[in-house]
Chains A and B, each alone.
Chain A
Amino acid sequence: MSDKAPKRPGTRLRKLFCLAVFSYFALLVLATLSASLVRGFFAPPTTQPIAFPHTTHADKLNLACDFCHSGVKQEASAGVPALSVCLSCHRAIATDRPEIEKLLGYERRGEPVRWQRLHNLPDFIHFTHQRHIQAEQPCAACHGAVERMLEVQRVRSLKMGWCISCHRSRGAPRDCATCHK
């Protein structure tokens, strides 16, 4: 192919060819970068307004998950605990720590804590925690070892293929309306 050129140099053609190859590579670098960008590989890690350590509460204190996430057994969403739940203990405990002072500050200002949601499902999905708890799924199956996370992170894709593979291998219903609104 290109090595026919040396016999008749044809500098114009050669230059054009070089340009084409160069722009091809440049284009694909851009494509790769934008693929990563779209998929959120550059997104900074989410930081929560208060550094709540699950290690202390779920591991050291060994509190059950539903002590704070009280909705998990009866409702669709496990629920991020209301400020009052935190305060039921932290009016008294560790009130001198900076993060707890932040918490008390929210209460004084009458402002809700804007926790960042990590486990987002699309709007058209109807997911209930209650059913999965009833099916005796341990929390860790979908959330990982939360009790070892100083800062909560998402460790499962939450994509449809994963849901389906679990439903299929456990014989759970698989018609569209089970999950899709």
Chain B
Amino acid sequence: MLPEIQTHLEQLKWLLIILIALVCPLLALMLGGTTVSLASASLKHRTGEKETPPWIDGLLRRANPSVEHDTLVVLTIIASLLLFKIIYRPQLFSNAAWIVLILLLTAGLGLMVCCRYRLVDQRPLDRTALAIGGAGVTIVAACCLALACTESILLTPEFWPHLSHLPYLFLSWHGFTRFAEFLLLTCAITGNALLFSTTSPYPTSIPPPAADCVARRIGAGLSLGALLLWPLALGLEMALIPSLAGGRLLTALAVASILLAAFCTFLLGMTLYGKIHAPKTFFAMIILLFWCWAFMGHVARERTLTPVALAGLAVETPTPALATEGESIPPEVSPSKAAKVLNGKELFEQKCSVCHRFDQRVVGPPLNSVVPGYRSDPETLTAFLMQPVKRNPNYPAMPNLGLTADQAEAIADYLFQNAEP
């Protein structure tokens, strides 16, 4: 269904990593913003319109989303999921499963967008709208968890063949850690939005600055908490990541992102003390954290998903079909085996000439001394070539070269033509 792409794979991978790096912050902003605004709207709903503490209004206004990028988010997510499937073609899930995932994600995002449009219009949310928004957030978060686990199981291709029998293999501590990291980054970027948000227009009544201050503090708390927990999560990830995926580059990235988080904490502290006001730097640092996170996933995948490691995994697919399809399986078979040209000379040069000459002993006996003996009985020669048996005690055994009957016949013909006498 999806196109088979072999060339430009490297460029495609870079495209994917750029897309992921783009989509994750956008998604996180959307998820975090919606959650905060939903939470504050439901608080407002519960306390009743009249007695709403002013800080809730402040929070709501600060978290109040801009809707422009929502469509972009949906499109980039779908694009990167498809790209993922095209590049890695994991024999993990059926196409149907991927489509269901994409649909679920789109549906969840759609619900969130609906809810946000109402919030943008400053309309109060009723119970159904709240429920819809909550459902959207839950679905999107669940999809993110599923994606984090998918990313994690990609790193242990050895488990793929067993996944259909043992679906629970899909969940892993490493996957959960990656998801937790995503949530932390979401908290950090949402906190950043709450802390520095200036775009939200002050509508009718200007709230007392104290209310705004609470919203700012909540934002700072979110960011600070996330940044402080970040190194813990990364340490956990380095302890849990499948051993074959780990490497120096991965460790370097992990350490770099911890240092980055430390720098962010420093910036945040300075901001809170009123020493500096650097919303752009802070935002850029958090985006960099996202990139480290996404790039770590890429590095780990590149280490484990090598062609040599992936070989031998397809064998688990149900075999009855193979009998009828015959030769159409060989993505796993190397080109030299697949070459079906039954050219006796070529085959001989490929397979036999290392050990045999016609006129002299190499590893095997000189063919001129053995082949003529078979002239009266060519069948025995082909049988020997396909299934060598021990003949002469002065030589080591000849290996079975896995020739097919046709190949053996072609070689035997060549031998008979060229052997003297």
Among the 9-residue stretches B14-22, B102-110, B232-240, the one with 4 or more Cβ atoms under 8 Å from chain A is: B232-240
Q: Is A32 interfacial (CB-CB < 8 Å)?
A: yes
* Chain A contacts for B351, CB-based, 8 A: 61-62
CA of A40 to CA of B248 in the docked complex: distance in angstroms?
9
Binary per-residue interface labels of chain A (23-67) against chain B in the complex, 1 for a CB within 8 Å, 0 otherwise:
011001101110110011110000000000000000111111001
Q: Is A18 interfacial (CB-CB < 8 Å)?
A: yes
> Which of A39, A40, A59 has the most CB atoms of chain B within a 10 A radius of its CB?
A39
Q: Are B234 and A32 neighbours in the complex by a CB distance under 8 Å? A: yes
Q: Which of A110-150 contact B (CB under 8 A)?
A: 138-149
Q: Is B315 interfacial (CB-CB < 8 Å)?
A: yes
A20 to chain B, nearest CB (A): 11
Q: Are A60 and B336 neighbours in the complex by a CB distance under 8 Å? A: yes
With contacts A24-B231, A28-B232, A145-B308 known, what are 10 further pairs, Cβ within 8 A?
A5-B273, A21-B265, A25-B258, A28-B258, A60-B350, A140-B311, A143-B312, A145-B311, A155-B244, A157-B158
With A141-B315, A155-B309, A165-B159 known as contacts, the answer to whether A63 contacts B401 (CB < 8 A) is yes
CA of A12 to CA of B199 in the docked complex: distance in angstroms?
37
With A61-B354, A157-B243 known as contacts, the answer to whether A6 contacts B274 (CB < 8 A) is yes
Q: Which of B212-243 contact A (CB under 8 A)?
A: 217, 220-221, 224, 228, 231-232, 234-235, 238-239, 242-243
Q: Which of B136-164 contact A (CB under 8 A)?
A: 156, 158-159, 161-162
Q: Are A148 and B308 neighbours in the complex by a CB distance under 8 Å? A: yes
A132 to chain B, nearest CB (A): 13
Q: Are B251 and A62 neighbours in the complex by a CB distance under 8 Å? A: no
Among the 9-residue stretches A72-80, A85-93, A100-108, A173-181, the one with 4 or more Cβ atoms under 8 Å from chain B is: A85-93
CA of A12 to CA of B329 in the docked complex: distance in angstroms?
72
Find A157's partner among B162, B244, B355, B363 (CB 8 Å cutoff): B244
Q: Is B189 interfacial (CB-CB < 8 Å)?
A: no
Q: Are B235 and A35 neighbours in the complex by a CB distance under 8 Å? A: yes
CA of A155 to CA of B306 in the docked complex: distance in angstroms?
9
Q: Is B406 interfacial (CB-CB < 8 Å)?
A: no
Find A168's partner among B166, B220, B332 (CB 8 Å cutoff): B166
CA of A22 to CA of B334 in the docked complex: distance in angstroms?
54
Q: Are B156 and A155 neighbours in the complex by a CB distance under 8 Å? A: no
Q: Is A166 interfacial (CB-CB < 8 Å)?
A: yes
Q: Is B53 interfacial (CB-CB < 8 Å)?
A: no
Q: Secondary structure at chain A's binding surface: helix, strand, loop or mixed?
A: helix
Q: Are A32 and B269 neighbours in the complex by a CB distance under 8 Å? A: no
Interface residues on A, range: 35 or more
Find A88's partner among B221, B235, B363 (CB 8 Å cutoff): B363
Q: Are A93 and B355 neighbours in the complex by a CB distance under 8 Å? A: yes
Q: Mind listing 18 A-B residue pairs with CB under 8 Å?
A: A25-B265, A32-B255, A36-B251, A39-B238, A59-B334, A61-B401, A63-B399, A89-B354, A93-B354, A138-B315, A140-B311, A140-B332, A141-B315, A145-B308, A146-B308, A149-B308, A156-B244, A157-B156
CA of A31 to CA of B156 in the docked complex: distance in angstroms?
24
* Chain A contacts for B336, CB-based, 8 A: 59-60, 62
Q: Are A29 and B255 neighbours in the complex by a CB distance under 8 Å? A: yes
A51 to chain B, nearest CB (A): 17
B69 to chain A, nearest CB (A): 30
A42 to chain B, nearest CB (A): 6
Q: Are B309 and A144 neighbours in the complex by a CB distance under 8 Å? A: yes
Q: Are A31 and B337 neighbours in the complex by a CB distance under 8 Å? A: no
CA of A126 to CA of B272 in the docked complex: distance in angstroms?
61
Q: Are B312 and A145 neighbours in the complex by a CB distance under 8 Å? A: yes
With A140-B312, A157-B243, A168-B166 known as contacts, the answer to whether A29 contacts B362 (CB < 8 A) is no
